[in-house]
Amino acid sequence: MVHLTEGVLFHDGVEVTAEVVKWNFDFIMEHNFTRMSNVWQILSREKPTEIIDKYTLRFHVAEPYVPFPRNTLGTAYIYPQHIWEPIAADPDFDWFTYVPSDDEQIGCGPYKFVAYVPNAWYKFEAFDDYWHGRPYLDEVVRPIITSGDAELLAVKRGEVDIFTGFLASEAIPGLLREEGIGLYLYNNPYMYHWGMNTAMWPFSVKEFRYALAHAIDKQDIVDTLLLGYGLPG
């Protein structure tokens, strides 16, 4: 059961309701978008969503899934139904090639779309009616930089104000010595995957996998590979 915050508005003033959320998730289930596999692989095919009232809906899953709030609800985008439903109803509509107009590029977040220059930047401005309060910054310009290294270099040169991409642990000591650069460290759940074919012996033996899990020194991995920047799970 999911209860929506009342009064959440899209950038054109239309309210986000249970009907809107249901339409978004049902649309994902219908089209099986690759990037939304955490939705269509988890929700029930027969009845993925159910509206309880204007601000409440129930999600039906195919089987129990512990990280449902983060991995399923947290990875789906909520598009304005009143804009996209008639567009998507066109039999010639192609979701992957369609280029929306400026008026169609709206959401319900703290910043609303202003302008876009291909291969250069996006510009957003503060949304006065954001449900959680008007954001502090009046506008945000997001440059299009194709690699993490280039983005980090732009920070060092003072060309951008913030870098939020993946940062290799070995880069941290050097950044701490840079004048004019602040570094904020925080704990973020992350997993380094060690895959194994559980259909083959000895990986097919559950007790063997338990033994591997207990034999691994997770703190040593954090200290050696991450230079101490992390907490073992």
Is 110:135 a contact under the CB 8 Å cutoff? yes
Mean pLDDT of 196-200: 91
Instruction: Write out pLDDT tens, residues 86-137.
Output: 998 888 888 788 888 888 999 999 999 999 999 999 999 999 999 999 999 9
Predicted local confidence at residue 70, as pLDDT: 85
The 3-class SS string of the chain reads CEECCCCCECCCCCECCHHHHHHHHHHHHHHCCHHHHHHHCCECCCCCEEEEECCEEEECECCCCCCHHHHHHHHCCCCCHHHHHHHHCCCCCCCCCCCCCHHHCCCCCCEEEEEEECCCEEEEEECCCCCCCCCCCCEEEEECCCCHHHHHHHHHCCCCCCCCCCCCHHHHHHHHCCCCCCCCCCCCCCCCCCCCCCCCCCCCCHHHHHHHHHHCCHHHHHHHHCCCCCCCC
Percent of the chain with pLDDT over 70: 98
Structural domains of the chain, ranges and CATH numbers in brackets: 2-88 (3.90.76.10), 102-163 (3.40.190.10)
Percent of the chain with pLDDT over 90: 48
Q: Is the model more confident about 233 or about 156?
A: 156
Predicted local confidence at residue 153, as pLDDT: 86
**CA–CA distance, 42 with 64 (Å, rounded to integer):** 9
Would the pLDDT of 228 be above 80?
yes
**What pTM value is reported for the model?**
0.76
Mean pLDDT of 208-214: 93
Instruction: Write out pLDDT tens, residues 160-190.
Output: 998 877 777 888 888 888 888 888 877 777 7
**CA–CA distance, 140 with 116 (Å, rounded to integer):** 12
Predicted local confidence at residue 162, as pLDDT: 87
Instruction: Write out pLDDT tens, residues 36-93.
Output: 777 878 888 889 999 999 999 999 998 998 888 888 888 888 999 999 999 988 888 8
Mean pLDDT of 6-33: 92
